[in-house]
Amino acid sequence: MTSLYERVQEIKKATGWSQERIGMETGLALSTIGRIFRVPGYSGNETSHTLIRQLYERVVRSPFSDYLDRLFNRYDHWKMQYPKKEFAELLEILEVLLKNHKDLNGDSLDSCRLRWLLGHIYFDRAFYLNKYEELRWAQSALEWYEKASQGLQAHGRELLVQQYKLQQCIVSTRFNLCESGQRADNAEIRKWLHNINYVYLVKTVLQEDSWDWMAARNGLVAASILQDAAHCEVFWHAMHRANQHFTDPNFAPGPDLPSVAQDPDLIWFRSHYLEALH
C-alpha cells in the first residue's frame, strides 16, 4: 500500500509544488500536509488518503495505463475499508478478471502491471487472509512477482524506481516466510540478497529519491543481514538525511515497524556498528 508520505513526495517531485500549494490543491489544512511530510509513518484518516490520492492521480505521470493504476488504488481501498471476508471475496472476482485479461501474457508494461497485481492477491492470501496456507500462496505470489519483474527489466533503467518497488515485494514475500528473529542469521536469505545485488539497487534509488526513508531502512536491513558494515553506514546516514527522527535509534515510525533499536533483523548492525558509536 502506498503511504501518504510517498504520495506527497512524488507529487512534489513531479510538480515542484510547496506544501502550501499541495494543501491548496487538496483542500487539506497546511498542518496536515506538514505532518505528512514531517512525521514518518503518519497514517492520516480516510479523507486525507482520498484527497492526496486524487491529486496524485492527476499530476504524477505513470508508465502504466491509467485504469490499471486506478485498479491498484481501488485494491488498497478495499483492503482498508472491508472486513477480511468481503475483501477475500473481492479478490476472487479480481483474480478471474486479471487471469482472463488479454494483455496478461504479453510483453507490454500493462502486462507487467497485471502480473504485479496478481502477486499482491496471492501475497495477501498468504500473510493477511489465510495464514494456514501461507507457503502455497506465497509461492504463487513469488511466481507472479518474478514474472512481472522480468518483464519490467526488459523495458530498461528508466523504470528503476518501479523495479525497486517490485523487487521489494519479492523481498517482503521471502522475508515473511522466515521468522523475523531468524532472518538476521539465515544463510539462504543472505546468499539470495547478495545474488540479486539488492543493496546496489536501493543505493541507486536513493540517489534519485533521497527522501525515501523506507528504502533506506530496507537497505539497512539487507546490509545488516549481509554483515556489510560499509553499506550499513550508507543507509543509516541516508535515513538521517531523509528525516531527523531517525537519529534516535529508539524512534519507531509506526505500530507495524519497530525502532532500529528493537528490530530483530538489525541485530548485526547494532552490535557491530551502532554500539561502537556510543
Each residue of 27-66: pLDDT tens digit?
A: 999 999 999 999 988 988 989 999 999 999 899 988 999 9
Residue 273 has pLDDT above 70, yes or no: yes
Q: Indicate if 106 and 117 belong to the same structural domain.
A: yes
- The 10s digit of each residue's pLDDT in 97-136 is 999 999 999 999 999 999 999 999 999 999 999 767 899 9
Given 177, 209, 226, the domain boundary residue is 177
Across the chain, mean pLDDT equals 93
Q: What are the beta bridge partners of residue 257?
A: 254
For residue 131, the model assigns a pLDDT of 67
Asked if the model's pLDDT at residue 275 lies above 90, the reply is: no
Nearest to 175 by CA among 222, 140, 129: 222
**Model confidence at 255: pLDDT above 90:** no
Q: What is the CATH number of the domain that holds 57?
A: 1.10.260
The answer on 208 and 157 residing in a single domain is no
Residues 121 and 79 in one domain: yes
C-alpha dist (Å) from residue 59 to 12, 25, 104, 136, 158: 10, 11, 27, 39, 19
Together in a domain, 68 and 157? yes
Residues 143 and 235 in one domain: no
- Pair (55, 67) in one structural domain: no
What confidence score (pLDDT) does residue 278 get?
A: 59
Mark whether 168 and 202 lie in a shared domain. no
Residues 35 and 115 in one domain: no
pLDDT (mean) for 239-261 = 92
Same domain, 242 and 252: yes
Nine-digit cell string for 121? 492477491
- Decide: 149 and 170 in contact? Cβ < 8 Å: yes
Shared domain check, 171 and 96 = yes
Choosing from 17, 32, 61, the residue where a domain stops is 61
Cell numbers of 158, please? 528508466
Question: Helix, strand, or coil here: 257?
Answer: strand
- Helices (DSSP H) in the chain: which residue ranges? 4-15, 19-26, 30-38, 46-59, 66-81, 84-99, 109-124, 134-153, 160-176, 180-183, 187-195, 198-208, 213-225, 229-242, 267-269, 275-277
Q: Which residue has the cell 531502512?
A: 217
Neighbouring-strand partners of residue 254:
257
Residue finishing a domain among 130, 158, 177 = 177
Long-range contacts of 9-13 (CB under 8 A, 24+ apart): 9/37, 9/209, 9/211, 9/212, 10/56, 10/60, 11/52, 11/55, 11/56, 11/59, 11/60, 13/209
**Nearest Cα residue to 206 out of 197, 217, 193, 195:** 217
Is residue 205 within 8 Å of 159, Cβ to Cβ? no
Same domain, 67 and 172: yes
Q: Cα torsion for 30, 32, 38, 41, to the nearest 10°? A: -160
- Name the residue with cell 489465510: 130
Domain count of the fold of the chain: 3
Domain that holds residue 46: 1-61
Do 38 and 128 lie in one domain? The reply is no
95 is written with which cell numbers?
Answer: 483474480
